């Protein structure tokens, strides 16, 4: 744990939390920078940004603001989803990728968003 006001639970054994006011709550979860991020799934990962939430196992968020990866988006569960950059994006289907854009939501399993033509 490196930085101010970071938190972790006993469930986050083997995790890493860096930055300011970040929280990990899953086995092997990590937040490697930024502020106000929350990684709660096992092996969930957030690489910087602000106010991002990785809620399910094997989810990842790379930067941006207010992005969400995981089952909070859908009741199916968002295992293995990835959200990259910008703001307000959400991925909830299994193995779903949302890359860039703003306020893009994809809850379809095994898909990539946004679809061309890109905004």
**Can you give the pLDDT at residue 107?**
85
Residue 72 pLDDT more than 50? yes
- Residue 14 has a CB neighbour count (10 Å cut-off) of 12
43 or 75: which leads in pLDDT: 43
93 lies in some domain: yes
Q: How many C-alpha atoms does 71 have within 13 Å on its Cβ side? A: 11
Residue 38 pLDDT more than 80? yes
118 lies in some domain: no
Residue 76 pLDDT more than 60? no
Global pTM reads: 0.89
92 lies in some domain: yes
2 lies in some domain: no
**Can you give the pLDDT at residue 75?**
47
Q: How confident is the model at residue 12 (pLDDT cuts 50, 70, 90)?
A: confident
DSSP state of 11: G
**Domain limits for position 78:** 7-113
- The rounded mean pLDDT for the chain is 87
**Number of compact structural domains in the chain:** 1
**Can you give the pLDDT at residue 1?**
75
Q: What's the average model confidence in pLDDT over 26-42? A: 94
User: b or e along 39-74 (b: 16 or more beta carbons within 10 Å of the residue's beta carbon)?
Assistant: bbbbbbbbbbbbbbbbbbbbbbbbbbbbbbbbbebb
CA dist 30 and 109 (Å) reads 24
Least confident of 61-65, 68-72, 75-79, 107-111: 75-79
């Amino acid at each position: 744990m490196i930085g101010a006001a970071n938190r972790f639970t006993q469930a986050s054994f083997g995790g890493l939390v860096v930055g300011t006011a970040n929280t990990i709550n899953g086995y092997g979860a990590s937040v490697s920078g930024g502020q106000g991020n929350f990684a709660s799934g096992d092996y969930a990962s957030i690489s910087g940004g602000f106010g991002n939430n990785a809620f399910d196992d094997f989810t990842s968020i790379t930067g941006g603001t207010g992005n969400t990866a995981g089952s909070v988006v859908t009741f199916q569960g968002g295992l293995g989803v990835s959200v990259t950059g910008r703001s307000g994006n959400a991925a909830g289907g299994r193995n779903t990728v949302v890359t860039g854009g703003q306020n893009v939501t994809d809850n379809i399993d095994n898909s990539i968003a946004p679809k061309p033509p890109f905004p």
